[in-house]
Amino acid sequence: MTSNQIKRPFGLQLLIYGFVLLWFILAAFPFFWTMWGSFKVELDFFSKGDWTHAISGVRTQAVYGESFTGAGYEGAWIQEEFWRAFSNTAIVCFFTVLTSLTIATLGGYALSRSGFRYSFWLLIVALVFRALPPITLVSGYLPPFYAWNVWGLLPTTIIVLVAINQPFTLWMLHSFFQTIPKELDESAMVDGCTQFQAFRHVIIPVMWPGVITAGLFSFLLAYNDFAVTAILLSQENQTMVPKIASFMGTTQTEGNVMFAVAAVVSAIIPLFLLVLFFQRQLVSGLTAGAVKG
């Protein structure tokens, strides 16, 4: 409080507000610009002559009689079957988050309650695994997946994403469980519970804030993945991000850039909502590892 009571000089105040405004524009403007532009025709979205056309939609009006059009969305979602990619993403994300939380909760809890040396080394191994770029593993997946005939399927990709997710989720849940006092489950075990019963009856009811945060980050990893999904999924099982990448090749040449723009905006909306509703959990998750040091 006291430090804020001393007034800042006007110049400094101006500098701070100017900088914050600049960052605000840098961070938010590209998204709003593209969202607005996704309802225009290509000549408005890319309006070299007069940039105000992108806002007013002069060419869009000339073509459709209105300054907004859903043509890009119609083309992407129906003609190019983006809905299929959307539902694939939903399936992949749902099962990845569910599985990865289930097994990482058990593992993270065990790591936080085991005082043995190997639990430390397991965490270090997880850190090294976390550092590996996922794409370096992909060429190792392909030969067995071809041999067992499971390449291209959603379940295969889900399992791979779960595994790639584990190191990070494990770390996060480990540090979360360390904040839950050991006495809680120890006293349950004194009363005659087994370790698993103590986990079920004492820890599960209080673990949800940490699990939700870890779930958000597993979701983001699965949702944002490009390297693994693009190579491991067949054409009809593609999720949104590889689908958008494939739009780049096909629609650009056919003059349907607006399909890609509409698809990109469609992929952003769920993330927008996620940040809107879970801002607090995201921030606490980002700082969880850091605060522990």
Partner 1 sequence: MNHKTFFWFFFPTALAMILFIALPLTSIVSQSFHAPHEEVLLVAEICDPFGCEIETTIDHEATQSLKDSQPLGKWVGFQIYSDRNHLAFNEVAKFWQSKSSFTGFLSSLNNLPFYRAMGFTLTYVIVVTPLVILFGLIIALAVNSLHRHLKGLMVFFSLLPMIVTPLVGSLILFWMIDARGIIGSGLQELFADPTLSLKASTGLTWITLIVYGVWHSAPFAFIVFYAGLQTVPKETLESAMIDGATRFQQIMHVVIPHLAPLVAFVALIQLMDNFRVFEPIVGFSAEAHATSLSWIIWNDIGQEIRLLSSAATTSVLTIIGVVILLLPVLIRTWREFNPEK
Per CB under 8 A, contacts with partner 1 among 3-32 are 3, 6, 8, 12, 16, 19-20, 23-24, 26-28, 30-31
Q: Which one of residues 57, 60, 97, 113 is an interface residue with partner 1 (CB under 8 A)?
A: 113
Q: Does 277 participate in binding partner 1 (rule CB under 8 A)?
A: no
Give the whole-angstrom CA distance, residue 210 versus residue 53: 47
Query: Which of 41, 54, 93, 211 is close enough to bind partner 1 by CB under 8 A?
Result: 54
Site residues for partner 1, 162-181, by CB under 8 A, read 162-164, 166-167, 170
Q: Does 148 bind partner 1 (CB under 8 A)?
A: no
Nearest approach in angstroms of CB 117 to partner 1 is: 8
Cα 252 to Cα 198: distance, rounded to the nearest angstrom: 58
Nearest to 168 by CA among 156, 158, 178, 176: 176
The alpha carbon of residue 241 and the mean position of all alpha carbons in its chain are separated, in whole angstroms, by 11
Work out how close the CB of 188 gets to partner 1 at its nearest, in angstroms, rounded to a whole number: 13
Q: Which of 61, 67, 91, 141 binds partner 1 (CB under 8 A)?
A: 141
232 and 160 Cβ atoms separated by less than 8 Å: yes
* Binding residue (CB under 8 A) for partner 1 from 63, 90, 193, 282: 282
In the complex, the smallest distance separating the C-beta of residue 1 from partner 1, rounded to whole angstroms, is 8
Note whether 92 and 162 are within 8 A (CB).
no
Contact of 205 with 172, CB cutoff 8 Å:
no
Nearer CB in complex with partner 1: 65/293:
293
DSSP secondary-structure letter at 235?
Answer: G
Taking CB under 8 A as the criterion, the residue among 67, 90, 129, 246 binding partner 1 is 129
110 alpha-carbon distance from chain centroid: 26
User: Please, which residues have CB within 8 angstroms of residue 225's CB and are 6 or more apart in sequence?
Assistant: 134, 161, 164, 239, 241
- Near partner 1 in 72-111, by CB under 8 A: 102-104, 106-107, 109-111
Write down the least CB distance from residue 8 to partner 1, Å: 7
> Which residue, 14 or 78, is less far from partner 1 as judged by CB?
14
Q: Is 65 in the site for partner 1 (CB under 8 A)?
A: no
Q: Restricting to residues 178-197, which ones interact with partner 1 according to CB under 8 A?
A: 195-196
Q: Among 70, 181, 209, 289, which residue interacts with partner 1 (rule: CB under 8 A)?
A: 289
Q: Contacting partner 1 (CB under 8 A), which of 139, 149, 235, 253?
A: 139
Residue nearer to partner 1 on the CB measure, 71 or 108: 108
Contact 104, 169 (CB under 8 A): yes
First to last CA, the chain: 27
Ranges assigned E (strand) in 137-263: none
Number of residues that bind partner 1 (CB under 8 A): 100
According to the binding rule CB under 8 A, does residue 33 interact with partner 1? yes
DSSP string of 66-108, one letter each residue:
SS---HHHHIIIIIS-HHHHHHHHHHHHHHHHHHHHHHHHHHH
